Each structure stands twice: as structure tokens, then as C-alpha cells.
Structure 1
């Protein structure tokens, strides 16, 4: 709910007496919202910050991406315990306050738009900001991966924007991260574990959520990560996967992969903080995969003619709304 000013009539906002009561809270100087509105909801944090904008500027970073439909941009970090500030791309006489950061970098009018009554920066500008000021290269990769998850920007679009703004702070990090990004990662955790696979274990970059078929064109499964040269599938098991019904499905899925000549490795939530265990399991899995004879490998990445590709931003943008609902419903989140 957008903050409002005091209205002596109590129609468009609280009267002065109401504003002093328990039914309203101050969102910023001179602006109020009903006390029952949760100030921690990402969208509420965004609109309350946006109310501070001067005549020229917009919400940027994670706030703009969330407002544009970015599923994974919730404004939280540190395992969901810490609130990230909402960043405003604006100059003038506006000062930072708790929960609000000001970015005074030059702002081209072409990088501004209005969506559902809120001024925000374009998706490519917003994700570029997130990547440039990310706490690490890996978190910058997460930002781009998750922007592509919601089809807000493609990797090529980000590359073009970064090249056009080569002098900006953080662009080297942005470019490094773009070189590690993938348009078909389905969650931040998948991205981080993929980077352990590639950077810590020193293995070939795996494919993300690529469908695998048997020789008759039947879908075997879509593992989180897959190395087609080695025939190694990797799956992330979060807390949900420890539950009975889900665990049973996971075991059947693993058995199906193995029955078609694929090796299988499980990645756990704790592997991100301490990747040594995952690195050891990956290397052991690749060793086992190398011993599988070609006669047992009964799988292919070639889809049947009726299969609809959804592995890139471009392919997903071309889907009809009915196709999106049907084909993308099983993605994480």
C-alpha cells in the first residue's frame, strides 16, 4: 500500500488525529500507512521507499527486479536473516535512511520506466546494478541467473549493456559474472552449487535443467546439473527432499538415471558453506562414470519432435501464456 499524507478530511489519508493514533504508522517524514500493513513485505518496502523519490529517478536493483516480476528477488540475504536496502536511482536533495540506499550515478531517461504506478529502472539496468555491487562474483552470477529465470533479461542483453557502460563502478565484476551465468538455473542454490562444480572442483561447466530422453524419445528426467560428456547428473536436495514422499520419488528418479547408464551425485544445502565434501563426491562420481561401458548408456539429449524447448530466455519469451503455465509450472519456486 502506497504511503499517503495527512488529509484534514480523513478521506485520501488519515486526519491529524488519526495519524497520531495507533491505527497508522509513519513510513517517512509526512507519509503514513495503516498500522496493519506489514512493513517487511518486499513489495511494501519497495513502495514505501519509492515514495521518497524526487521528480526524476526510480527504484533500481533488487526492488525494481521484484516489482517487474522477479520471483527470487525478495530483498533478503544472509540466509534470509538480513534485509537488503531498497536502492533509489536518484539525485537531488534526497538522503539515505534506514532501509533505503541512494545511487547517484548518471541516469539516462531510456533507463527509466513506469510499471503499475511505480517509477523503476529497466530490468537490464537494475540487474547490472545488482551485479556490480554484489558482495562477491558468485552472488553477481546469482543475480543474473535469477533475472533470466523470470525472463526479465537475457545474458546477451546484459553483456551489451555492460559493454556500453564500461567505465561504471563494478563493471569488471559484472562481466566476470556474465561469463559464468546460465539462463536455465531454477534457484539461487542451484547456481551456487553449479559454481562449486565448475570453480571449486575444476570440472567442465554442467548444463542446467536439460531434459534427458531414452532411445525411444521418452523423458527420463531433468536433473539440476548435467555433464553430457561424462554422463553425470547432479541433483540438489534441500530440506523438502528429506520428507518421506519426496524422498521416495527422489530414489526412484536416481534409479531411473542409473538404469540408463548415468552416474548420479547429490548436492546438499551445507555443501555451499563447506564445498570440500561435494568436491570429493563429484570427483568420485566422475571416476565411476568413466568406467561405465558405452553399451549401458541408453540416453540422449536429442528431444522428440513434439518437445518444446524452454532452456533459454528467448525460447521462453516465445511461449504463449497457456504454454508457460503448462511447461514452466514444475520449475523451482
Structure 2
């Protein structure tokens, strides 16, 4: 009987083959029963194992193709990255991508095989699963994204992990010629930022950039008053017009969080900043959000007098807006400064 392995607080089970003794796996009779689930051809896990969990899906796919290397979103999911759960924007599961040198396997549900070139320098192993390094993996994910938004969101969320930087991805993209999706990857890179905290924030920023042509946008950058006091850290800040953009998900709709949001909005407005909020419904049809943004920009640009805010931090402040800055933090600083945030 396979023993569950605990990994980062998750109970994962590596698939096993049928064992006539019933010690290392199910007997043939047990495998046909309700107590076991077939994870792929010839491999089984106990029926109670959650096959929808991203890391379990990765583990099952890796076991099915032991000669392969997981890549794309699966590399980040296996590394414990927050926003890589193996679903598309509609919440539907997508297959685990696996690179192989030679494909001698029939297709099976749950994973997709690619035979793209793979240099040894891009291979690694983490907790018993072979995969490609973060730079190659996120390049794959962006190259096969459905559109520009999907590519930028994937890249932004990879930067959020600090496993890869924009410079590293750009250098890798420059080395690729003739690969599937390389034009999309190269188109996406200029839009990438290293300090987006959620996919929704990235989508909101792209609406400002692509639809409205807003170019000077700070993402999750602390705002200070002229005395050097930290006023808040907005999702987006239009530096040219002086407009704060916030995405309000379900977490923001009630209770203490809603009270904190309203207080923060008041703090920003007292500095002369305008304010616009995007909600879930705006993702389906962003036209009203775009109009609200244009209205806010007009109001902001009509204000007279010197600005009462700045994004230049005081000397005592520890900046964390780039991958390089976050990688330089000590462990205790990371714990203190890089608390998770939900949108």
C-alpha cells in the first residue's frame, strides 16, 4: 500500500502499479474495486486522493511519463507557486505539459506531450519530479497562451514567485528562433511587470495600457505623503494623471476588509489622487470600467497646484518592487515584507 507523502502541507500520493502481493500497490482485484482510482495507464492511487489538486495532477502525469520533464504551469505548481493551479481563465483544467526527447506514447487524458528541443542546462529535479527550469517553463507557458493577455498574466505571475526575472526571460526569448509561439512571447515581454500580485491586477493593467494607452503605471508601489509617511500601496497608479486603480474581488466586499478599503480610498483622495475600482463583472465587459477610468483621469488632470504625494520612498524604506530587490532580502525580511495578498 503506498504511503502518502506530505509536501508543503499537502498530502500527495505517487501512483503505483499493480502488485500481486498487495504490499507496494493494489492487487488486480483491488485495482478493479472502488478503493482505487486509475491515474493513467497501468498506474493507480487510492480513490480518496484528490485528483483535482494541481500538485497531485503534476505528480500523476510525471509518473505516467517518467522519461519526460514537466514544464509550463506545472513547473510552478510543483514549486508551490500560488497562482499556477492548472486551470484556464474560465476555471477549466488544462493538461500538464511534458517535454520528451522522443515520443513513443499514445495520448492520455491529463497531460500533453511536446518534443521541442531541450538542453540539459534547462533540466532539473525537485522532490523526485523531473522538470525544466523556471525560465524555460514560463516561456513555454507564454508561447502557448491563447492570447496576449494570457501570455502577460502567466509571465507576471512567474515574476511574482521570484523564480525568474524579466531580464532572464527576455534574454531567453532572444535566443529562440523558429519556435512555436515565439512572436507572442516577444510581444508580451514589454508589458510584463515584476510586481503584479494577482492575475486580475495584470488584466486591469493591460486594459489601461492596451485599450486606453496609459503608459506610466506603477504596480503595487508604495505611495507616500510629502513628509515621508506611507499612505498605502495601490494595485495600480497612473503616474501621469494621478489615478489609483484597485481590483476588488470577493474578499473586499464585506466586513473589516471593506472598512479598510474605504479608509484607504479616503487617504488617497486627501492627497489629491482620483480613484477607480474594477470588479468581477468588469472582466466580462470592461467598457464601463474603461469609461470610469477616463472620467477619473479627466478629473485628476483638472486639479491645480503641486502634487501632495510621491512614490519616492524615504531613506529607511526597504523597496521590494523588483525581483532583484526581493531576491536580495534575508529570510526574516521576506517573511516580514512579502506577506501574501489576495485580490
Mapped partners of 1:286, 1:329: distance in 2: 31
SS of the equivalent of 1:51 reads helix
Structure 1's consecutive aligned runs of 4 or more residues displaced over 4 angstroms after TM superposition are none
Matched, 1:137 2:148: yes
Cα deviation digits, residues 48-83 of structure 1 (max 9, x gap)? 11112243x201111112112321000111432x11
Mapped partners of 1:206, 1:228: distance in 2: 6
Mapped partners of 1:144, 1:238: distance in 2: 21
Counterpart position of 2:176: 165
Mapped partners of 1:88, 1:289: distance in 2: 49
SS of the equivalent of 1:322 reads helix
Counterpart position of 1:33: 45
* Cα deviation, residue 273, structure 1: 2.1
The TM-score with structure 1 as length reference comes to 0.95
Counterpart position of 1:248: 259
Counterpart position of 1:76: 87
Mapped partners of 2:33, 2:288: distance in 1: 56
From 133, 138, 148, the equivalent of 1:122 is: 133
Q: 1:250 to 1:54 in 2, by over 3 A?
A: closer
Counterpart position of 2:296: 285
Mapped partners of 1:17, 1:271: distance in 2: 53
Mapped partners of 2:151, 2:58: distance in 1: 21
* Cα deviation, residue 330, structure 1: 4.5
How many residue pairs were aligned? 330
Cα deviation digits, residues 201-256 of structure 1 (max 9, x gap)? 22224110000011221100000000222211111111221213222211111110
The TM-score with structure 2 as length reference comes to 0.93
Cα deviation digits, residues 26-55 of structure 1 (max 9, x gap)? 111221111110111111111111112243
Structure 1: unaligned runs, 5 residues or longer: none
Root-mean-square deviation (CA, aligned residues, Å) is: 1.4
Counterpart position of 2:198: 187
From 14, 18, 32, the equivalent of 1:2 is: 14
Q: 1:100 to 1:330 in 2, by over 3 A?
A: closer
Counterpart position of 2:98: 88
Counterpart position of 2:286: 275
SS of the equivalent of 1:255 reads helix
Structure 2: unaligned runs, 5 residues or longer: 1-12
* Cα deviation, residue 21, structure 1: 2.3
> Is the 2:252–2:258 Cα contact (8 Å) retained in structure 1?
yes
Mapped partners of 2:209, 2:32: distance in 1: 57
> Is the 1:241–1:250 Cα contact (8 Å) retained in structure 2?
yes
